[in-house]
Amino acid sequence: MKMACLFLRERWSRKNNFTMTSIHNSGIAEHIQNIQSGKIDVVAFVKKVIQLAREYDRKYHCFTIICENEALAQAKQIQEKVKHHQAGKLAGLLITVKDNICVKDVESTASSRILKGYKPLFDATVIERLKKEDAIIIGKTVQDEFGFGTFCVNVGLGYRIPLNPLDVTRATGGSSGGAGVITAVADFPHIAIAETTGGSIESPAAFCGVVGFSPTYGRLSRYGLISYADSLDKIGFMSKSVGDIIPLLEITAGRDELDGTSLDETMKEYSGEKSEDKKKDQKLLIGVIKEGMGKGVAPTVIKAMKETIEKLKQRGMVVEEVSLPVTFKYGIPTYYILSTTEASTNLARYCGLRYGQESPVRGKTFSSYFSEIRSEHFNTESKRRIILGTFARMAGYRDAYYLKAAKVRTKIIEEYKTVFGKYDVLISPTMPITAPTFSEIKKLTPLQNYMMDILTVGPNLAGIPHASIPIGFEKNLPLGMMAMTNHYEEKKLLSFLSEVERLVERGEQ
């Protein structure tokens, strides 16, 4: 099989004469050092990046907004800090932000027309922490409206559907589709800040051929995230290389008094312990999920998985088959009942008052005005999920649907916990197929669409860390493998991913 080299990443590294000190890093560390030491003119560099971003956007529709003025203002500040040797740990690193994460004074709409014009008065905590270390925000990336989609074809009314850079007739994956595109094509040091509820980071990572990483639920504060489903939403990252994620995780993770579900523990301990982790990797016990290698999964996807498994075995890892029957039989209904129930309450706030879309209120009644605004500006998928979620929590149905799903979720979490009692890492394909064409997607019913999430809803329901990593190509379309570890074991996951990256990119046996 053709090796899953991240061709764009290699091109970028060569062009910039950076030596890749290890497979863990795509040159971001060197770039930051060059900024901090004053070797790069930050303002001129950002101007060039903005120009490139506009070109990518013209070709692939990846941005909802490119915030040139704000990025240049940040660049000027950093330039001054560099003169006084005060530049932050991420000085000059280019960041894009999924449209559902608030950036102060930059339009943030979750790619929904109902929020058009909304410019937050505050930064999300994750953004605040990144800015403090002088990362530069260059734009907001397009997504399925409020995160409601698997392919990023459910963007809001008036937004453009992003195109897969490997084949523009195909979808990018969703809901973080714009983030997947810019991560794949960016010819500059870049990390995408994305978000997952049921697979929204891993799906576009698999279809666009990049790394997508989601931490344990609560590891990163959700303050400033436009909610889809609070018990499932997690901010994470997309990058060209596993190692790029580590400094961002260290800086953004940790307790935030503005989010009661954020975890106490910080993630400061990564950088110094990589070599020790490499030794551990060779002894890892890996469980390959049986249900992810059978019916409904494309033969090409299974073939790529089997080849990767062989490489892991040859590397000294023990790989065994493991079954998650409850998760795979009940995961989809459990996820969709819980997520749409939460979404239907979260979206109740969009009523045409105080911010977002509105029309003259005088003379109208409460119900007619709210219904008018919501019906005009929500897209079809949002309406469908609001209806499903409202039904699942209505009197007479709540126990049979919402409460039942919450109980099944307990059984799913227990199933993962039992399996992690034996295995260090679980693996499966990320998506059952390669990136579909837009015409193929049009033929799917809503239920068939939802079923495409079969491999990714489990780790999201359980809130465990998980990530997609490229493992090959099939007819120029990338294939992704998903890896999962127990709660709080991001370190083990990143270490394993680095090993996979090394094996796949170098073709090591």
Check the CA dihedral 454-459-461-465 and report its sign. negative
Residue of the chain from 17, 375, 439, 509 that contacts other proteins (CB under 8 A): 375
Q: Binding to other proteins by residue 104, rule CB under 8 A?
A: no
Q: Catalytic residue at 271?
A: no
- Does position 372 interact with other proteins (CB under 8 A)? The reply is yes
Cβ of residue 202: shortest distance to other proteins, in angstroms? 16
Stretch that binds other proteins, among 32-40, 76-84, 401-409, 467-475 (CB under 8 A): 401-409
DSSP structure string for 254-305: S--TT-TT--S---TTSGGGHHHHHHHHTT-EEEEEGGGGSTTS-HHHHHHH
Q: Tell me which of 13, 98, 131, 240 is the catalytic residue.
A: 98
Neighbours of 122 (CB within 10 A): 14
Interacting residue with other proteins among 391, 398, 438, 444 (CB under 8 A) = 391
Other Cβ atoms within 10 Å of 264 Cβ, number? 7
Give start and end residues of each alpha helix (H) in 134-201.
177-185
Is residue 222 at the binding interface for other proteins, with CB under 8 A as the rule? no
Q: Which of residues 313-352 bind other proteins (CB under 8 A)?
A: 326, 329-330, 332-334, 336-337, 344, 348, 351
* CB nearer to other proteins: pick between 16 and 261: 261
Cβ–Cβ under 8 Å, residues 320 and 422 = no
Enumerate residues 149-208 that contact other proteins by CB under 8 A. none
Residue recorded with tokens 């995961």: 331
In angstroms, give the least distance from the CB of 43 to other proteins.
30
Contact criterion met (CB below 8 Å) for 165 and 185: yes
Residue 487 corresponds to which amino acid?
Answer: H
Report the residue from 81, 89, 290, 384 that binds other proteins according to the rule CB under 8 A. 384
Q: How many CB atoms lie within 10 A of CB 257?
A: 9
Q: At its nearest, how many Å lie between other proteins and the CB of residue 254?
A: 14
51 burial type by CB count under 10 A (0-12 exposed, 13-18 middle, 19+ buried) = exposed
| 116 contributes a contact to other proteins by CB under 8 A | no
**484 phi and psi angles, rounded to 5 deg:** -135, 145
Catalytic: which of 26, 111, 112, 200?
200
Of 175, 227, 241, 468, the catalytic one is 175
Tokens 């935030």 found at? 256
371 is catalytic: no
Decide whether 366 or 421 has the Cβ nearer to other proteins.
Answer: 366
Out of 2, 394, 476, 506, which residue is the one contacting other proteins (CB under 8 A)? 394
| 98 belongs to the catalytic site | yes
- Cβ proximity to other proteins, 228 vs 330, nearer residue: 330
Kindly state whether residue 295 participates in binding other proteins, applying the rule CB under 8 A: no
The interface with other proteins within residues 469-508 (CB under 8 A) comprises 487
| CB-nearer residue toward other proteins: 375 or 509 | 375
Q: Are strands 234-239 and 190-196 parallel, antiparallel or unpaired?
A: antiparallel
- Whether the ω angle into residue 111 lies within 30 degrees of 0, i.e. cis, is no
List binders of other proteins among 128-157 (CB under 8 A): none
Region binding other proteins by CB under 8 A among candidate stretches 62-70, 245-253, 275-283, 356-364: 356-364
Kindly report each contact of residues 443-447 with a partner whose C-beta sits within 8 Å and lies 24 or more positions away, as own/partner.
Answer: 446/381, 446/384
Query: Is the CB of 155 or the CB of 263 nearer to other proteins?
Result: 263
Task: Decide: helix, strand or coil at residue 38.
Answer: coil
Which tokens sit at 394?
């209505």
| Binder among 369, 420, 423, 496 for other proteins (CB under 8 A) | 369
Q: Does 113 bind other proteins (CB under 8 A)?
A: no
- Min separation Cβ 69 and other proteins, Å: 18
Identity of the amino acid at 357: Q
Q: Are 173 and 198 in contact (CB under 8 A)?
A: no
**Cβ at position 447, least distance to other proteins in Å:** 5
User: CA 28, 31, 36: angle at the middle one, nearest 5?
Assistant: 125
What is the nearest approach in angstroms of other proteins to the Cβ of residue 207? 24
DSSP string, 320-354: EEE--HHHHHHHHHHHHHHHHHHHHHHGGG-SSSS
Token digits for 133? 């270390």
Binding window for other proteins (CB under 8 A); candidates: 24-32, 199-207, 288-296, 394-402 = 394-402
Residue from 279, 360, 439, 443 touching other proteins (CB under 8 A): that is: 360
Secondary structure of residue 82 in the 3-state scheme:
helix
- Which range of residues in 23-31, 155-163, 214-222, 283-291 is near other proteins by CB under 8 A? 214-222
Based on the shown chain and the rule CB under 8 A, indicate whether residue 374 belongs to the binding site for other proteins. Answer: yes
Query: Residues 31, 113, 140, 409: which binds other proteins (CB under 8 A)?
Result: 409
Could you count the other beta carbons within 10 Å of the beta carbon of residue 493?
24
| Residues 412-471 contacting other proteins, CB under 8 A | 413, 445-447, 450, 461-464
Per DSSP bridges, beta strands 285-289 and 94-98 are: unpaired
Number of residues forming the site for other proteins (CB under 8 A)? 74
Catalytic residues: 98, 175, 200
